[in-house]
Structure 1
Amino acid sequence: MRISVPTIPQAVLSSATAAKTISPAAAAQRIASFLAPGNVTTITGAGVSVDSGIRAYRGSKGRYLNPNYKSYQELVDPTEKGFAFRQRYWLRSYLGYKPVQEARPNTTHYALAALQHTNVIPKLITQNVDGLHHKSLAHVWDEARMKERILELHGSLHKVQCSHGHIVDRQTFQDRLSAANPEWKVYMDELEATGQRPRTNPDGDVALEGIEYDTFKVPECPDCLLDNKRNSILKPELIFFGESIPPEVRDRSIADIEECDRLFLVGTTLATYSAFRLLKHALELKKPVLLLNVGPTRADPLPGLEKIELASGLVMRDVVRAVL
């Protein structure tokens, strides 16, 4: 399956009605009763990380907030046009990565971590690439356990891979970018010192106005150079628009839906079809489905879906108290 630019059909947005009012206390009790039987698979989206300072993809009215989306075909284009695209991408990502790297899990991440650690939620599928679910469990789970229990549907920002398959951790690649572009390192340090960071998007880049990208240097892969190849086609290990989700990730996500007794979705508009199809599959299997999100979602018209329209940070702490 290829990832397309997230969309909510206009018919859904046009027919959206005011959500029924529910108090945070009542919502917490309803969610707790839904989760209490256990064996719940959870799907999370960008809304979960908003309280950690990472921007959501969509506003409360469903409008897509980041029109500068990334095309896989442009990123791996071997021509001069592709090189220019990578210059633009990597400069914006270079400046935007540090806020993601330094972001800390929020109440919702820790609440879901507690429910995972106690096996109420055996499997969690996240559309986010920020690694905050992992950070919330790093003090109690090792890497192998996190890999087994958390599926990153759209990959991760924290590793970089070249077009020949060589992988490096993201901080090492950041250091290479700094060494190749000392003037931009100074600029980033100045932003850091003044606290005037550009706003970071969920996929780890920033919006820049009036910037020329043609002098930004993208370092070549050193492992390729050892093989006498010159290669500057590198990308984070996340799934770009127009790129396919690996078959093993797709198959595992489907298995996580089929093996659970119910499905809980948090902070997602389901505008990306890779997650929407998992919800549809759960409904086809007659599994109970509960969605916690603010604003319209692609799934709103579907029969069998129960939705609570509240920010997760308002209720998830009380949900955990009630369940555990």
Structure 2
Amino acid sequence: MSVGDERSAQPRMRISIPTIPTHSTSTPTPPAEAIQRVVEFLAPGTVALITGAGVSVDSGIRAYRGHDGRYMNPNYQPILYHELVDETERGFTFRQRYWLRSYLGYQPVVSALPNTTHYALAALQHASVVPRIITQNVDGLHHKALSLSHLINPQEAILELHGTLHRVRCKHGHPVDRSTFQQMLSLANPQWKAFLDDVERTGNKPRTNPDGDVDAESLGASYTSFTLPDCPTCLLQNRRNSTHKPEVVFFGESISQEVKDRSFLDVERSDRLMIIGTTLATYSAFRLLKHAVELRKPVLVVNVGPTRADGVPGVEKVDVASGVVMPDVVRALLGSRVQDDKVILEMLQSGVVNPPPADDDDRTEG
């Protein structure tokens, strides 16, 4: 029985997968107009910023949704939190499925480079225009870009709302660095290590989703043959335990109270809120927009296509890709500081532009 068959045969918790309106009244904004509007919005300073998967597309990381707001994989079926931590044989099968897919998809994420938007936003943080970034992304690319600044501690300036792929914990809370865990998976699954070595040699990389997830089914993968290693700390305590989870917030799992409180505080301590590259489908991000609106703070959304914020009173929308405008926004906003500050200049001269192919879309028309 496949994982999908098991899902249909078992009682399911009622967990809603995020959706957004299927229509939008917004039309593409000309780049020059978008740059001017974003500069005007940022000019007063002290802006909180929320980012989503659209910001990382130019780094080669595939987004879940296309420009029309629909999932590019119509069969997208995430593993839910209660499935991943289930201690039954069924849960073990879900963990095999998750970790095989994540094992194959992690290398493209960890080797991805910040793009021009990441560096533009890092420049705004270095210049104290945007003191705080709240990101829904789990790829760590904001941290890589901000590492050029000697003035800012990325751990304090960037809040990872949905966690990170780069750390793993067992069910007893023992931490494992993700690179170490990848090595553990490689040792336990030499046939898949050989597959990744072949991928590295040929460059024929499988498509990777924003959370480091690869469609292993398309590779003819058998989850039941994937071996899950035991936690090394648990083994030292004379117990076997192969239940691990990345420090990522899964569907059906709650964001910690500490992260939730800090996200609200970041919005409250700022004079305005800007949102880039996200449809705001997940409520954890959308409620921050609602909080800003309730506090009567100006809100600007920069995104291509429909979002959950469309039509919300008090929210302005600029329909444009961030990579098209953000480097020029920084140059226009900071003026002579770009040349005077070597860090800002280096940031604006950095960044890849390597989006997935335009036809990287599983949907069929009609």
Shared fold, TM over 0.5: yes
Tell me what 2:343 maps to: none
Kept in 1: contact 2:34–2:325 (CA 8 A):
yes
Across the two proteins, how many residue pairs are aligned to each other? 317
**CA deviation after TM superposition for structure 1 residue 21, in Å:** 4.3
Report the residue type matching 1:301 in the other structure.
Answer: G
What is the distance in 1 between the residues matched to 2:22 and 2:36? 29
Point out the more displaced range, 294-303 or 22-31: 22-31
Q: Is the 8 A contact 2:79 2:94 kept in 1?
A: no
CA distance in 2, matches of 1:295, 1:317: 21
Q: CA deviation at 1:215?
A: 1.1
Give the Cα separation in 1 of the matches to 2:324 and 2:161: 26
Q: CA deviation at 1:64?
A: 2.3
What's the TM-score, normalizing by structure 2?
Answer: 0.84
SS at 2:72 equivalent = coil
| Structure 2 match to 1:78 | 87
**Structure 1 CA distance for aligned equivalents of residues 104 and 42 of structure 2:** 39
CA distance in 2, matches of 1:159, 1:38: 33
Give the aligned partner of residue 245 of structure 1: 255
Question: Residue in 2 aligned with 1:28?
Answer: 35
Looking at structure 2, the residues matched to 283 and 84 of structure 1 have their Cα atoms a distance apart, in angstroms, of 43
Separation (CA, whole Å) in 2 of partners of 1:93 and 1:111: 29
Q: Is the 8 A contact 1:151 1:253 kept in 2?
A: yes
Counterpart-to-counterpart distance in 2, 1:4 and 1:39: 35
Partner of 1:13: helix, strand, or coil?
coil
Moved more, 247-256 or 78-87: 78-87
CA distance in 1, matches of 2:98, 2:180: 17
Which residue is 1:156 aligned to?
164
Give deviations 1:285-320, integer Å, cap 9, x for gaps. Answer: 110000000010011020111000010000001000
Conserved? CA contact 2:28–2:304, under 8 Å: no
2:304 alignment partner, SS class: coil
Alignment of 1:284-323 (within 5 A): 284-323=294-333
In structure 2, distance between residues paired with 1:227 and 1:162: 13
2: CA distance, partners of 1:51 / 1:24? 17
Question: Partner residue of 2:174?
Answer: 166
Q: Secondary structure at the match of 1:29?
A: helix
CA distance in 2, matches of 1:126, 1:277: 14
CA distance in 2 between partners of 1:75 and 1:87 (Å) = 9
Candidates 58, 67, 79, aligned match of 1:60: 67
Q: CA deviation at 1:4?
A: 5.2
Larger deviation: 42-51 or 68-77? 68-77
CA contact (8 A) 1:72 1:240 kept: yes
Say whether residues 1:134 and 2:143 are aligned partners.
Answer: yes
Counting only pairs closer than 5 Å after superposition, residues 59-138 of structure 1 correspond to structure 2 as 59-66=66-73, 67-138=76-147
Aligned to 2:196: 188
Instruction: Work out the CA distance in 1 between the residues paired with 2:48 and 2:18.
Output: 22
Q: Which residue of 2 aligns with 1:263?
A: 273
Q: Distance in 2 between matches of 1:167 and 1:301?
A: 43
Unaligned 5+ runs, structure 2 = 1-13, 335-366
Q: Note closer, same or farther for the CA distance 1:21–1:100 as it changes in structure 2 (3 Å cut).
A: closer
Task: Return the TM-score normalized by structure 1.
Answer: 0.95
Q: 2:48 aligns with which of 38, 41, 52?
A: 41
Share of identical aligned residues, percent? 66
